[in-house]
Structure 1
Amino acid sequence: MPAIPLSKILYTAEAVTEGGRSGHGRTSDGRLEVDLSVPDDMGGTGGPGTNPEQLFAIGYGACFQSAMLAIAQGHKLDAGDSRITARVGIGPTGHGGFGIQVALDLHAPHLMPDAAAYLMTEADKRCPYSNATRGNIQVMLSVDGTPIEEIVRSDQGAA
């Protein structure tokens, strides 16, 4: 399926990187400037800098939670004090390249598991990161470590 062009660009982020995974990156507005280091687990020096997977985890987690909070507000669900833990893994694809996978876990102390699973499912439909990655990488959604499929299945079994 070909990519669908956006009807309107609301914002464009611009960043410049030099030196690849062992280099430096900065945004054009100067709000973010980071040194980059390759983790020990990937054969690097494990230096003090961040890496693309950490940056992606923060970006995806923040975007996903914003979508979830908007949906919660629209349904009068209390997602206060919630947090998303985003884990981005990188590894070989088995076809000569590398790929990533993502796990997003919601902790929402004021929500029942079925409501939390519902919000995760709906946020996955709305979040631009989810829409960009759908069909390209594995994204696993969970609530307090329980996959949302298990929550939905157990909720249906109780009905």
Structure 2
Amino acid sequence: MTQQSSADAALYTTSASAHGGRAGHVDSEDGQLNVRLAVPTELGGDGGAGSTPEQLFAAALAASFESAMGAVARAENYPEFGVMGVRATTALLKNGDAHDLTAVLDITLPGLTRDRAEHLVDQGQHICAFSRALKGKIDYRLHDA
């Protein structure tokens, strides 16, 4: 179990519980999240209505990274900074008897030069909690607007 050092003051803490595994549901302690889960056909399920843990992770990763880039843009006073797009694609991989998770972030930053956009993506990687937790497991692809 990882322990938090005194230098790692928690900014936000939350918890969620799973009930029934991949074919059950997840909910948060505060009641704001209540999601039905379903096993996709690719994993032997019926593909019924519901989300997958990988979809939830992709959504969280995209939101977190977009927020990180927004924080960098504001801190560095990017006057041309406008609406951005971040699409996260996750893949569950078989690795012997275990599984791995990888992610690709497709990023569109209209209104920025290529150099400024690359800088924003690079700096976003340094402050995004998900990027830091998955260091080396995310492919960042910057697309022209």
TM over 0.5: yes
Structure 1, 50-59 or 72-81: larger mean CA deviation: 72-81
Q: CA RMSD in A?
A: 1.8
SS in 2 for 1:38: coil
Q: TM-score, normalised by structure 1?
A: 0.82
Identity value in percent: 33
Structure 2: 5+ residue runs without aligned partners?
Answer: none
Q: 2:90 aligns with which of 76, 83, 88?
A: 88
Listed as ranges, the matches of 1:118-157 within 5 Å are 118-135=119-136, 138-144=137-143
Give the number of the structure whose residues are more often helix, by fraction: 1
Matched AA of 2:138 = V
Q: TM-score, normalised by structure 2?
A: 0.89
Listed as ranges, the matches of 1:20-99 within 5 Å are 20-77=21-78, 78-93=80-95, 95-99=96-100
Corresponding residue number in structure 2 for 1:149 = none
Structure 1: 5+ residue runs without aligned partners?
Answer: 146-159
Q: Once superposed, which parts of structure 1, at least 4 consecutive aligned residues long, lie more than 6 Å away? A: none
Corresponding residue number in structure 2 for 1:152 = none
SS in 2 for 1:86: strand
State the alpha-carbon separation in 1 of the partners of residues 94 and 50 from structure 2: 23
